Chain A
């Protein structure tokens, strides 16, 4: 590297003239930076264009968008998000209540109970569960689960009908309950996968310390694993909630597309924002399309907030950096 001639003869890169090198370097750098900025632009554009296309419909709205229960943008130009948002939140929360305990159990099984060789294979099985397309779950739901679930629903209605949630005159397969069960099945893998990863990051010394003090396996988990993994499990649950809220096709196939606010989850009623978009898009007028876009904007806002909150919970403890989906 002392004599310029020997450098020239050395590497292929060195034989290039300096301006050419910096030009290539600069171009590539701008290209990479531009791609990164494009991600930010896309996120901004999603919000901007949804607002732009929703405004004409919102101007034509005869009702109050936030409180109106009826959704009839095509005919009477009266529509509101209330019933849809209620259905979205209720079905997702029910799904979360069903999925989280099972998912934590699955994660514990893979991280602390199953034999190590088996655990890796079981992890793959759970990942495969996540790979099944949602429309397949929807098809399974409408062909198998809807007729099947009236049995368990009847049981709940007869013996636990005194709980308002399970009350109602008659039970139906196409109910909020069925939709929640399907959603629970669909969000279980992601919650289980993230929880598993967090549980595996618990410092071995904590676990061994607990065991050395004479703790049983459960006491070790309660004292060492769960406190350490709690933020991870919480953020996993929030990510699952966001996914359940955005799930479209399975819910669209199952729910009967009625509009109303009712806590009687066993009866044939309920709808969600995403399902309503899928069901209503085909026969929507321009105003109807705008109204659906407006409802999509609400969904986008809700899921954005959920996801940001979940990411912030994770980001607060840097140890979980590998736990993202």
Chain B
């Protein structure tokens, strides 16, 4: 008995073990510091360099008749293009993604089809964005003979958006208590109306959050636009006809030009892009927080 009392573990941790523990602790803290450095560096550079050209002219003018060396010019055509392309791709991918999630949760539970769909949704998350662009290029533009257009870009973006929407919606639908569904069935409400009137409204805020995060993700995609929307320096308001521009594409285009004025425009474009993406992210999280169970109930 006395032997056990003497060997109180806390006091008899050998120096070597204590040192290892300390070293690992320092390494873990260091790892976190290393991870945060790039974020701070990137954000700081984008803000400090981007503000130089982040003015009214930048937001309201296109790049028409402005060479790489000329000062001035703006990204209005690119901002407009991005907004149209992202809106179109949401219109395509949100209904399909939502319906897929409804199938997975409400109708297909446990069937082989549902399992394979679920698996391929996961695999689809990993499709490189450039491959999505190549697919639309091969299918829509080369095989069907359609022109480069904002809509083709939206198709490519919707392929990237779909799996994210499905996963987010699926997760939220699963959280809806079975009691609610059973109560509706007991009142004689058919299943599809139960889904539309009871399940979806309950899960709505969560789904909106997921959709906004998905939008934020695709808004910054460059590679698929490069292959499907092509370039233009002019304003093209029609997403169904002719090449458009997108904000990420604009940054890429300007960054590849080796002059200071072009690089300044690239930074301002990057700042605009980050502002859009971060606002979407923040809004999504605010909605999620505002409707979280801890607050609303």
Q: Mark B14-49, 1 if CB is under 8 A from A, else 0.
A: 000110110011011111101110110111011001
Q: Is the CB of A311 within 8 A of B122?
A: yes
Q: How many A-B residue pairs have CB under 8 A?
A: 292
Q: Is the CB of A32 within 8 A of B39?
A: no
Partner of B25, one of A218, A289, A308: A218
Q: Is the CB of B42 within 8 A of A242?
A: no
Q: Is the CB of B128 within 8 A of A248?
A: yes
B14 smallest CB distance to A (angstroms):
10
Most chain A CB within 10 A, of B97, B104, B131, is at: B131
Which residues of A are found within 8 Å of B190, using beta-carbon distances?
A: 13, 21, 24-25
Residue of A nearest to B126 (CB): A307
Check: A229 CB closer than 8 A to any chain B CB.
Answer: no
Check: A52 CB closer than 8 A to any chain B CB.
Answer: yes
Q: Bound complex: CA of A28 vs CA of B143, how far in Å? A: 32
Partner of A133, one of B41, B162, B220: B220
Check: B181 CB closer than 8 A to any chain A CB.
Answer: no
Contacting residues of chain B (51-83) with chain A, CB-CB under 8 angstroms: none
Q: Is the CB of A50 within 8 A of B135?
A: yes
Which residues of B are found within 8 Å of A133, using beta-carbon distances?
A: 219-222, 248, 270, 273-274, 277
Check: A324 CB closer than 8 A to any chain B CB.
Answer: yes
Contacting residues of chain A (279-299) with chain B, CB-CB under 8 angstroms: 281, 289, 292-293, 296, 299
Q: Bound complex: CA of A69 vs CA of B90, how far in Å? A: 41
A111 smallest CB distance to B (angstroms):
10
A241 smallest CB distance to B (angstroms):
10
Query: How large, as a class, is the contact surface on chain B?
Result: 35 or more
Q: Is the CB of B255 within 8 A of A142?
A: yes
B26 smallest CB distance to A (angstroms):
10
B274 smallest CB distance to A (angstroms):
6
Residue of B nearest to A286 (CB): B142
Q: Is the CB of B107 within 8 A of A126?
A: no
Q: Is the CB of B128 within 8 A of A246?
A: yes
Partner of B99, one of A32, A248, A324: A32
Q: Bound complex: CA of A54 vs CA of B64, how far in Å? A: 35
Q: Bound complex: CA of A144 vs CA of B285, how far in Å? A: 31
Most chain A CB within 10 A, of B42, B113, B135, B163, is at: B135
Q: Mark A150-172, 1 if CB is under 8 A from B, else 0.
A: 00000000000000000000000
Binding site secondary structure of chain B: helix
Q: Bound complex: CA of A252 vs CA of B255, how far in Å? A: 11
Which residues of B are found within 8 Å of A40, using beta-carbon distances?
A: 116-117, 120
Q: Bound complex: CA of A214 vs CA of B49, how far in Å? A: 53
Q: Is the CB of B21 within 8 A of A248?
A: no
Q: Bound complex: CA of A246 vs CA of B120, how far in Å? A: 18
Which residues of B are found within 8 Å of A128, using beta-carbon distances?
A: 39, 278, 281
Whether A277 touches B248, Cβ cut-off 8 Å, given contacts A13-B193, A52-B143, A307-B126, is no
Q: Is the CB of B278 within 8 A of A324?
A: no
Whether A299 touches B277, Cβ cut-off 8 Å, given contacts A28-B195, A36-B113, is no
Q: Bound complex: CA of A44 vs CA of B104, how far in Å? A: 19
Q: Which of A59-67, A73-81, A100-108, A200-208 contacts B (4 or more CB under 8 A)?
A: A100-108
Whether A324 touches B122, Cβ cut-off 8 Å, given contacts A37-B117, A49-B139, A52-B138, is yes
Which residues of A are found within 8 Å of B127, using beta-carbon distances?
A: 46, 246, 300, 303-304
Q: Is the CB of A304 within 8 A of B123?
A: yes
B87 smallest CB distance to A (angstroms):
18
Q: Is the CB of B99 within 8 A of A36?
A: yes
Q: Is the CB of A300 within 8 A of B131?
A: yes
17 residue pairs from A and B, CB less than 8 Å apart: A10-B187, A13-B188, A21-B190, A29-B107, A35-B100, A39-B96, A39-B163, A40-B120, A50-B138, A53-B138, A104-B31, A124-B285, A128-B39, A135-B273, A248-B128, A253-B255, A324-B125
Beyond A102-B34, A216-B21, 9 additional contacts (C-beta under 8 Å) are A11-B189, A35-B95, A36-B99, A109-B28, A131-B278, A133-B248, A138-B252, A246-B130, A246-B131
